[in-house]
Amino acid sequence: MFPDDTIAAIATPLGEGGLAVIRLSGAKALTVADKCFQPAGKSSLKPSAAPTHTIHYGKIVRDGRDVDEVLVAVMRAPRTFTREDVVELTCHGGLLPAKLVLDALLAAGARAAEAGEFTKRAFLNGRLDLAQAEAVADLIHSRTELALRAANEQLAGKLSQRINQLRDDLMRTLAHIEAYIDFPEEDIPEETSTQLLARLERGVAFMDELLRTANEGQLLRRGIRAAIVGRPNVGKSSLLNQLLGHDRAIVSPIAGTTRDTIEETANIRGLPVVFVDTAGLRESEDVIEREGVRRSRAMLERAELILHVLDASEPLTAADESLLAEFAGKKRILVLNKVDLPRKLALALTPAVEVCCGSGQGMEALKDAIKERVWAGEIRAEMLQVAINSRHQDALARARAAAQRSIDTFRADATLELVAVDLRIAANAVGEVVGKTTTEDLLDSIFGQFCIGK
């Protein structure tokens, strides 16, 4: 795809560290590296002379000046991530050493890689399909072990295998239909019609099964936003600190301490939950506090779960009752704080969890309640294998609708041309998941979300 184009980028995060890796890929990767690399020691070789999958020690030199000591890994096509010649140079960590090594490679003839371009080449060269390429990004951005497992399952091709089988079944059915279109004088035998319809119905049922995993798949990838709300000084910030396991929010007996929203992600029973500590919801003459309340209410509009904190050591107030009514229609958990003090709160609403944010009492029960409200039931391994993302959901929804139309048309004894049109639409939509039918705009959109160097 890129016969004369060689790209380079820093593949490790920018900043101070022990090591940094700069990656080269393309037809001239070995030649570019040769111009910059000076071997040191008897066993080190120039990249173009080195056997594949070997490492060599030396220096990067530019304009006769030493840039840095490096280890150069030489990997020849096709046994590489991109299926092109690849050279990876490991230098000292830190922004400046990595940048100077990259600059030397660019001066020697490489081009700066675009976001996700290495993975895009892996896809275009047949190393990965599109679903697997997306799994690379999911792997990098995983925030919990379950998300990591789901990404690894997709990278291993578990979802792709099932999608390819579904597409093959649709294409085989389409081939049968088109064969009878070519010979209109022959009617489709009843037994054949029954078999074709059964195959299509199995396909629709399988698409329904995949579409049911969409919410779980998106939850694993992006997490859920859980807003912690309540009137001032009921323990919202203390609850956030307990759930995170460290002090993130300022805790004070002075009401109105939290003036802005605070966001942090925590691993709750394997699920990424973005907790948002909001300013106490009350009327205030303080301009800054009013702005904090405004921002809190804007955040509440986007929250998918409400943790409503109440003070169990005080009777229910008018402000409490107002907030209970306001959030009655949202998915919520009532958190009764300060249960270590004499109980004065009378409340029969559920689900409610009793906690003491000072000592941590009840936190494990609260984490269980959050997980059950977000993801009911057991998180099974087979579910992780096929948890689809929003792009897959859109493509499969279109495929499912087209496949169902083809079934309805077939059963109505309508013209086979109409059946074939919808089957073609369904097969193409399914193919979008793995990249068998795609557009350049779609590829740019997907790979543009990757980091530079991946």
Quote the CA–CA distance of 305 and 129 in Å, as a whole number.
Answer: 35
CATH number reported for the structural domain that contains residue 361 in this entry:
3.40.50.300
182 and 308 in a common domain = no
- Is residue 158 domain-shared with residue 64, that is, in the same domain? no
Q: Looking at the structure, do residues 230 and 359 belong to the same domain, yes or no?
A: yes
Per-residue confidence (pLDDT) for residue 250, from 0 to 100: 44
pTM here is 0.74
**Coil, strand or helix: which one is 139?**
helix
Residue in 161, 172, 180 with CA at minimum distance from that of residue 198: 172
Other Cβ atoms within 10 Å of 431 Cβ, number: 21
Residue 90 lies in a domain: yes
What's 158's domain CATH number?
1.20.120.430
Residue 118 in any domain: the answer is no
Do 197 and 241 sit in the same domain of this protein? no
- List, for residues 197-207, the tens digit of each pLDDT value: 999 999 999 99
- Condensed to tens digits (0 to 9), the pLDDT of residues 272-292 reads 888 888 765 555 555 555 666
How far, rounded to the nearest angstrom, does the alpha carbon of residue 146 sit from its chain's CA centroid? 12
Residue 284 inside a domain? The answer is: yes
Q: Which pLDDT belongs to residue 54?
A: 97
For residue 252, pLDDT over 50 is answered with: no
More confident residue, 443 or 251: 443
Residue 294 has pLDDT above 90, yes or no: no
In a domain, 120, yes or no: no
The C-alpha atoms of residue 67 and residue 88 are separated, in whole angstroms, by 16
More confident call, 402 vs 157: 402
Q: Are both 276 and 162 inside the same structural domain?
A: no
The mean pLDDT of the chain is 86
Please report the pLDDT score of residue 1 as a whole number: 45
Whether residue 405 sits in one domain with residue 358: no
* Angle of helix 130-141 versus helix 145-155 axis, rounded to 10: 160
Q: List the domain range (segments joined by +) for residue 288.
A: 222-374
- pLDDT at residue number 285: 53
Q: Which of 374, 394, 422 is the C-terminal boundary of a domain? A: 374
Judge if 227 and 353 occupy the same domain.
yes
The answer on 368 and 229 residing in a single domain is yes
The CATH number of residue 73's host domain is 3.30.1360.120
Same domain, 261 and 354: yes
What's residue 376's pLDDT? 66
Q: Which of 81, 113, 145 is the last residue of a domain?
A: 113
What b-and-e string marks burial along 332-357, b requiring 16 or more CB atoms within 10 Å of the CB?
bbbbbbbbeeeeebeeeeeebbbbbb
In a domain, 51, yes or no: yes
Strand partners, 309: 335
Cα(255)–Cα(333) distance, integer angstroms? 23
Residue with tokens 């050493």: 97
Has residue 338 been placed in a domain? Answer: yes
Report, in angstroms and rounded to the nearest whole number, the Rg of the chain calculated over CA atoms: 29
Residue 121 lies in a domain: no
Q: Are 9 and 26 in contact (CB under 8 A)?
A: no
Residues 177 and 235 in one domain: no
Task: Please say which residue of 345, 374, 403 terminates a domain.
Answer: 374
pLDDT band for 222, please (50, 70, 90 cuts): confident
Residue carrying the six token digits 């990876």 = 88
Region 386-401: mean pLDDT is 89
What lies within 8 Å, CB to CB, of 264 at 6+ separation is 240, 244, 248, 274, 275
Mean pLDDT over 153-167 rounds to 91
Helix (H) / strand (E) containing 226: strand 224-229
Residue 1 included in any domain: no
Give ∠ CA 12-70-6 in degrees, rounded to 5: 65
Residue 68 is encoded by which pair of tokens? 């840095």
Residues 307 and 228 in one domain: yes
Q: What are phi and psi of 51, to 5 degrees?
A: -65, 160
List pLDDT tens digits, range 88-109. 999 999 889 999 999 999 999 9
pLDDT of 184: 66
Average pLDDT over residues 119-146: 89
Residue 47: band (very low, low, confident or very high) from pLDDT cuts 50, 70, 90: very high
For the sheet with 86-92, list strands across it: 37-39, 54-62, 65-75, 86-92, 19-25, 7-10, 111-112
CA dihedral 33, 34, 36, 37 (to 10 degrees): 100
- pLDDT of 247 higher than 80: no
Residue 94 in contact with residue 17, Cβ under 8 Å? yes
How many domains does the structure of the chain reveal?
3
Q: Are 8 and 60 in contact (CB under 8 A)?
A: no
- Predicted local confidence at residue 235, as pLDDT: 86
pLDDT average, residue stretch 190-201: 87
The verdict on 140 and 255 lying in the same domain is no
pLDDT band at 338 (very low <50, low <70, confident <90, very high): very high
HSE, side-chain direction, 13 A CA sphere, residue 174: 19
Lowest mean pLDDT among 64-73, 427-436, 441-450: 441-450
